[in-house]
Amino acid sequence: MVFQAPKLRIIYLLISIFLLLINPCATQIFFNYTDFSQTINNKPIIRTGNATISGSVIQLTPDEVDNWGRATYSEQMHLWDEKSEKVASFTSNFSFIIYSQGKYRYSDGIMFFLSTPNFPAPKPTDGAGLGLLSRRQMGQPSFLAANKFVAVEFDTFRNEEFDLDSVGEHVGININNMKSEISTPWYCTITENRTYSASINYDSSTQNLSVTFTGFNYDNTPIQQNLSLVINLTDHLPESVEFGFSASTGLISELHILSTWSFESTSPSTIQRSPAAPVGKNKDEPKTKLVVGLSLASALQYLHEEWEQCVLHRDIKSSNILLDSNLNAKLGDFGLARLVDHVKGSQTSALAGTWGYLAPECIMSGRASKETDVYSFGIVVLEIACGRKPAEPDAKQDEIIMLEWVWELYGARNLLKAADPRLGGDFDEPQMERLIAVGLWCAHPDYNARPSIRKVIHVLDFEDTLPILEPKLPVTTFLSLPSTASTSSTSKSENHDA
């Protein structure tokens, strides 16, 4: 194989000595609970209040008034380090049920929280603080000064003193207060027994706390919603925190059930470098971008097709890719990886991965496949080409979500406008166009329209033609899921803002 572009012929020699390395894992805490009746790594989930294990799930509260419950991990997380001033990143994926058992009046909700260790029980019991604290404790400055928390709430009842800007059910991000810093309506159906999924991700490099969660549209089709807030957690939390879930009921009630939970955090002493955001200016950077894309594609081909079993990585993202001095890309952190038969090619489990890189069908179903890895690869390729992250809240309104922005440029026949501005236009246009187009192709919302990784390599290596994509980002639909999945559903790739 030879690159058509002369600029890259010498660089191609580096790819021939590409090594797929599993880097020393930078993970501080990792677990994946799909059955809470089992204990992982001898570190159980601690239950307090009215929380109980019911079969394989944790029932945080029964459907009774004036109840509260918590489920916290038995090990504290080292969130930040005062000496080095470094902060951990983390991802918390979970599925849950809030069910009123048909009643049209219900309360109060569930939340994921990080807090001062040994956070006191809510006294007296009421529903306002969602199982973390009581209305009386909220009004005590000394209590709040000694017991800090940051939380994401899935609130099903509007308390006028806290939820001034919210209408009915909503999702909010709270900082040491039950009045949310930011919130958005949540399109849920509490009167029906439905399972919802959520992914909470904190990127310490950007201080962005992002929440992706599922809901249901007016016609009962599942949808994906999101919310984010830039927050420096060192300003609001101690160095080590406890973390988990709480829920409560007040004068009216509902069931709160935690079905699955996976969690991963990095060590605050770890520095990870992303190829999408290199340090300093490198004269060979235009070449590096295509080399990284090809190297990563080669790694994924090995995982998917060339080993005894198919390896699903399930967490391909820019921070898991490092470059050595010879520009070889190294794919690391296999903490979420799973082995499947080549024929089967997919696996259902708790939602795992990182928001921004998760394929739509994976968010809705929890099923990982070759196609979901290819989607994540596509997002990383776009990051490499565009020099930005999947979502940038401070960007112009039509540029916040990278995939949507680049696809609009594709439809306008202005694809090269998406190229990393730090290159100053100093790149080979056919190479850059090919890299961006392949990124879009791999990140297609319809998994059936995504290429195999072998096809990707052929296109990146100028051995095959560029794909012809729709001029507008397609609405996400999946009538059946990859391989053995039997669930039928449809989703809309739209976001609902507060």
Q: DSSP class of residue 116?
A: S
Confidence of residue 6 (pLDDT cuts 50, 70, 90): very low
Separation between Cα atoms, residue 302 and residue 46, nearest integer Å: 40
**pLDDT at residue 283, rounded to an integer:** 42
User: What pLDDT, in 10s, does the model give residues 365-400?
Assistant: 777 788 888 898 899 889 888 988 888 877 888 888
Separation between Cα atoms, residue 412 and residue 345, nearest integer Å: 36
Q: Are 436 and 415 in contact (CB under 8 A)?
A: yes
User: What pLDDT, in 10s, does the model give residues 238-250?
Assistant: 999 999 999 999 8
**pLDDT at residue 270, rounded to an integer:** 46
Most confidently modeled of 9-13, 115-119, 366-370, 456-460?
115-119
Q: Cβ-count burial of 195 within 10 angstroms (0-12 exposed, 13-18 middle, 19+ buried)?
A: middle
Q: Are 111 and 269 in contact (CB under 8 A)?
A: no
User: What pLDDT, in 10s, does the model give residues 48-79?
Assistant: 999 999 999 999 998 889 999 999 999 999 99
Confidence of residue 482 (pLDDT cuts 50, 70, 90): very low
**pLDDT at residue 350, rounded to an integer:** 53
Task: Identify which of 365, 348, 275 has the alpha carbon closest to the alpha carbon of residue 316.
Answer: 275
Query: 163 by DSSP, 3-state: which?
Result: coil
Buried/exposed 243-275: b ≥16 CB within 10 Å, e otherwise: bbbbbbbbebbbbbbbbbbbbbbbbbebebebb
Positive or negative, the Cα torsion across 313, 79, 240, 154? negative
Fold of 6-25+272-490: Transferase(Phosphotransferase); domain 1 (1.10.510)
**pLDDT at residue 318, rounded to an integer:** 73
Average pLDDT over residues 1-19: 32
27-266 CATH: 2.60.120.200
Q: Are 210 and 228 in contact (CB under 8 A)?
A: yes
Mean pLDDT, rounded, of the chain: 78
Asked if residue 45 has pLDDT above 90, the reply is yes
Residue 310 to residues 14, 193, 297, 302: CA-CA distances in angstroms? 26, 35, 15, 9
Show the tokens assigned to 100: 């009123």
Same CATH topology for 6-25+272-490 and 27-266?
Answer: no
Asked if residue 344 has pLDDT above 80, the reply is no
Show the tokens assigned to 490: 């449809």
Neighbours of 462 (CB within 10 A): 17
Show the tokens assigned to 107: 């309360």
Tokens 């994976």 belong to: 362
Please tell me which residue, 464 or 319, carries the higher pLDDT value: 464
pTM (whole model) above 0.75: no
Residue 24 to residues 45, 167, 325, 335: CA-CA distances in angstroms? 27, 47, 18, 11
User: What pLDDT, in 10s, does the model give residues 253-311?
Assistant: 899 999 999 898 887 854 344 444 433 344 444 445 555 565 566 666 566 555 555 66
**pLDDT at residue 342, rounded to an integer:** 42
**pLDDT at residue 477, rounded to an integer:** 52
Q: Where are the domains of the chain?
A: 6-25+272-490, 27-266
User: What pLDDT, in 10s, does the model give residues 399-414?
Assistant: 889 999 999 999 999 9
**pLDDT at residue 3, rounded to an integer:** 34
